[in-house]
Structure 1
């Protein structure tokens, strides 16, 4: 990892974002693109051939697709913002990305049990790749150096 030292004591300036952290951000962006495509398909299905499979007397049952799409766009929009910020050298919201990756790992288990093992394997592999990049020692060192720099400015 590139860490430059300054003339002032106990102050480091982080260099470039480690490659493993950039790779992790790219994996997260691919996941976000897949979720945006799925959200688009939900919106299209809402206004074309939508038939609700929910057993409910509520009129809201007919709007599950649009509600789900809205939720996914909000969540993965924020996670995508975090990934783009990481690629620009200013990692943000790592905790949110870790949470989404943990959820995706759980979703992958249900994909295996639900009869789509290839999609489950792809989902699980992408979640593991993103988490490895986030928790890699080079990523940790970079984040610690950034934190020390911000703390020194206070």
Structure 2
């Protein structure tokens, strides 16, 4: 069955555990967006920047980092919203970012930000459970087989 506007219509609803993982990813994106706002504010108002660089473009590190994070986490937010709408996709992107965030959590521990490290690591585990849970995996596999059969 196909819907003209939204593409394939799933026979089964997105599993709740997968939706929960999408909500966790949205919370992570929200945290990054707050950080991005702070980077923009620091770029234009702070005389002592939080991010440092030895390059000739050192004055633009905050804004460059903010734009990069907006692109990456903006896409992840899109993926999470699509999952909540019943059209999950790009779970590989979620897994990649969660692996990176696990490394970030380790650096947080080493840097003394233990509480933030714990929060980040917990969010990583919860998001990955949403992706790799057997019901999520079965749903993704069924969706893939359905798309493949229509080709």
TM-score normalised to structure 1 length: 0.88
1:48 aligns with 2:48: no
One of 78, 90, 96 as aligned partner of 1:81: 78
Q: How does 1:127-142 map to 2 (within 5 A)?
A: 127-142=124-139
Q: Highest Rg: 1 or 2? A: 1
Unaligned runs of 5+ in 2: 1-9
- The alpha carbon displacement at 1:57 in A equals 5.8
Partner of 2:87: 90
Contact 1:51 1:62 in 2 (8 A): no
TM-score normalised to structure 2 length: 0.90
Q: What is the alpha-carbon distance in structure 1 between the residues aligned to residue 60 and residue 47 of structure 2?
A: 9
Contact 2:21 2:127 in 1 (8 A): yes
Contact 2:22 2:84 in 1 (8 A): yes
Q: What is the alpha-carbon distance in structure 2 between the residues aligned to residue 111 and residue 137 of structure 1?
A: 31
Q: What is the alpha-carbon distance in structure 2 between the residues aligned to residue 114 and residue 95 of structure 1?
A: 29
- The alpha carbon displacement at 1:55 in A equals 5.4
Q: What is the alpha-carbon distance in structure 2 between the residues aligned to residue 106 and residue 36 of structure 1?
A: 19
Number of aligned positions between the proteins: 141
- What root-mean-square deviation, in Å, do the aligned CA atoms of Structure 1 and Structure 2 show? 1.2
- The alpha carbon displacement at 1:39 in A equals 0.3
